[in-house]
Structure 1
Amino acid sequence: MNTIGDFHVHTNFCPHGSNDSMESYVVAAINKGLKSITFTEHAPLPKTFIDPTPNRDSAMLWEDVDKYLNEANELKEKYKNTLNIKIGFEIDFISGYEESTKELLNHFGPHIDDAILSVHMLQAPNGEYVCIDYSVEEFERIIQQFGTIDNVYKTYYKTIKQAILSDLGKYKPIRIGHLTLIEKFSKVFRAKEDYLQEINGLLDLINEKQYELDANTAGYYKEYCNNCYPSLDIMRIASDKGIRLIPGSDSHASKHIGRGFEQIPDDITLSSPGTM
């Protein structure tokens, strides 16, 4: 599967990623014949939000943002004749923290080219926030908090809907990240219900808003998932609705740039991102 670029890429500024330099990602993209990449590092979490992961390593530090942007801009200039480099963030949508997220976007929005809006954090029935993709052990604990696995799924898709409909200002990302991330541990914890109806409704909203969808291949390499986010069948449904599918490896190491793109068949059309 040939594609022009990889538009979901992390860096050494990610606390749960590798120490590979940003330039090593650029070189890897060039060596793979890509024409474009977007750095989409996890934006800092709201300052009043406590990262619920055991290692508090979900996102980059506030004090690293300027360095991240400066380094990305230097690479953008250095490789401008070889690779189209876009600078951006993966923004966490956290229910209840919309205003803080809007402030972040208003502050950094003028300095970035692209962004992804993703849901990693859910609010449990007891008010505690949890991170759904941290580990299989943590996911088991989350199920216990919610009562059933289907309560977790329902809350996830409800939160995705909130993310799509939320007012995050003029710099709100137009691409929704890894739509079915909730399935990361599905080989161990399988939902009893089928969520295709909920997903179809979300796709209709994405289409109505003229948003894009992250065609994320990282799930192929997750031990308890072995499928892309979303699945190829859902990508086809999205494509039939007219939704642009933007390829992303979600790489956290330079050797993973473009990984899994060959598993997306030619009948699924992949696109480059639009503008924010």
Structure 2
Amino acid sequence: MTITHFSIDTSSDGHVHTKLCNHATGEMEEYVLSAIDRGLREMYFLEHLEAGVNYAPRTWLTEADFAYYCEEGERLRRKYADRISVNIGIELGYNSSHSKELLTGARAKPWDRIGLSCHFLQIPGSNKHINLLSRKQENIDRAREYGLGTLLSLYYDTLLEAVENIPADVLCHLDAPLRYSGPIQLTDYHLEQIDRLLTAVKAKGMAMEINTSGIPIRKEPFPAKPLVKMALDHGIQLVAGSDSHKPEDIGRHFDELEIYIAEVKAL
């Protein structure tokens, strides 16, 4: 990805899921038609690639799912080429113990975009993973039991390792983890971790996602303004993503992003 400016393109939705991930609804074509109806010029399907995660139910694609995903994506790309640019990518969830397998997945196809994230962490002493972005009470309870601040530090260490090991285009979910676990105060150490992470993101030529799924949850996008300001201070390009899990959510709240970014720049 070549970064050429520091505004945000709200005619492109860079983060779209479908029913293939098992926690969304809607066929791929429904999302394309919704994007066209919204007046978008471009969209990126960004389906979940995970490896070695011990968690149920599954919230990522199987090998067979990916085969269909790519075939259907190419069909839609051709069918709607005169109306919208349809792109096929992955949201790669990093798992330190399966980094080689994930790197193979990243290189398996000429993906139009690779978004880098971390949805699951294996808490030391446990054989199961915790879903950091889940609203399920069992995940919230386990996170609180382990310690939210400690878990967040592990999360940022893992993301930094991901950026260093996986060739990717966009960093996703800078501050989305533990969003249902209650208010979390970022410590000075967390901010130091984030600064190191953003330094690595810039060095790799990656962008950072502004994810509008945060607006229904906390009245503003992910990440929070001070963290977006840190990214801009590092010279990191911002890209818009709805994190759609329903066709009608594609491009949601994009009309609010220009004001949001302007407020960030004014900090």
Query: Could you say which TM-score interval applies, normalised by the shorter chain?
Result: 0.7 to 0.9
Identify which range, 34-43 or 98-107, moves more after superposition.
Answer: 98-107
* Kept after mapping to 1: 8 A contact 2:35/2:251: yes
User: What is the aligned residue count?
Assistant: 252
Match of 1:208 among 203, 209, 212: 203
Instruction: Find the counterpart in structure 2 of residue 154 from structure 1.
Output: 153
Distance (Å, rounded) in 1 between the aligned partners of 2:28 and 2:245? 11
**Superposition CA RMSD, Å:** 2.0
Match of 2:34 among 28, 31, 34: 28
* Kept after mapping to 2: 8 A contact 1:133/1:184: yes
Change in CA separation of 1:221 and 1:266 when aligned onto 2, cut-off 3 Å:
closer
* Kept after mapping to 2: 8 A contact 1:2/1:262: no
Instruction: Find the counterpart in structure 2 of residue 126 from structure 1.
Output: 125
For 1:89, what is the secondary structure of its paired residue?
A: strand
The answer as to 2:214 corresponding to 1:219 is yes
Question: When you count helix as a share of all residues, which structure comes out higher?
Answer: 2
Distance (Å, rounded) in 2 between the aligned partners of 1:237 and 1:75? 37
Instruction: Find the counterpart in structure 1 of residue 19 from structure 2.
Output: 12
| CA deviation vs aligned residue, 1:252-274 (integer Å, no higher than 9, x gap) | 100000112222234738xxxxx
Distance (Å, rounded) in 2 between the aligned partners of 1:262 and 1:136? 30
Distance (Å, rounded) in 2 between the aligned partners of 1:189 and 1:131? 17
Instruction: Find the counterpart in structure 2 of residue 259 from structure 1.
Output: 252
Distance (Å, rounded) in 2 between the aligned partners of 1:267 and 1:21? 31
Instruction: Find the counterpart in structure 2 of residue 272 from structure 1.
Output: none
Counterparts of residues 1-276 of structure 1 (less than 5 Å): 3-18=10-25, 20-43=26-49, 45-46=50-51, 49-52=52-55, 55-107=56-108, 109-110=109-110, 112-128=111-127, 129-137=129-137, 138-144=139-145, 146=146, 148-166=147-165, 168=166, 172-185=167-180, 188-191=182-185, 193=187, 195-222=190-217, 225-266=218-259, 268=261
* Kept after mapping to 1: 8 A contact 2:9/2:239: no
Distance (Å, rounded) in 1 between the aligned partners of 2:253 and 2:144? 30
State the TM-score, normalizing by the size of structure 2.
Answer: 0.87
| CA deviation vs aligned residue, 1:136-182 (integer Å, no higher than 9, x gap) | 511221231x2x2211111111111111112x3xxx22211111122
Distance (Å, rounded) in 2 between the aligned partners of 1:30 and 1:248? 16
For 1:133, what is the secondary structure of its paired residue?
A: coil
| CA deviation vs aligned residue, 1:99-132 (integer Å, no higher than 9, x gap) | 111122232x23x211211111112121432221
Q: Write the letter of the residue equivalent to 2:199.
A: D
Distance (Å, rounded) in 1 between the aligned partners of 2:9 and 2:103? 36
Q: Which runs of 5+ in 1 are unaligned?
A: 270-276
State the TM-score, normalizing by the size of structure 1.
Answer: 0.84
Q: Write the letter of the residue equivalent to 2:85.
A: N
Alpha-carbon distance, 1:203 to partner: 1.4
For 1:206, what is the secondary structure of its paired residue?
A: helix
Distance (Å, rounded) in 2 between the aligned partners of 1:2 and 1:267? 13
Instruction: Find the counterpart in structure 2 of residue 274 from structure 1.
Output: none
Q: Write the letter of the residue equivalent to 2:187.
A: E
Alpha-carbon distance, 1:42 to partner: 0.9
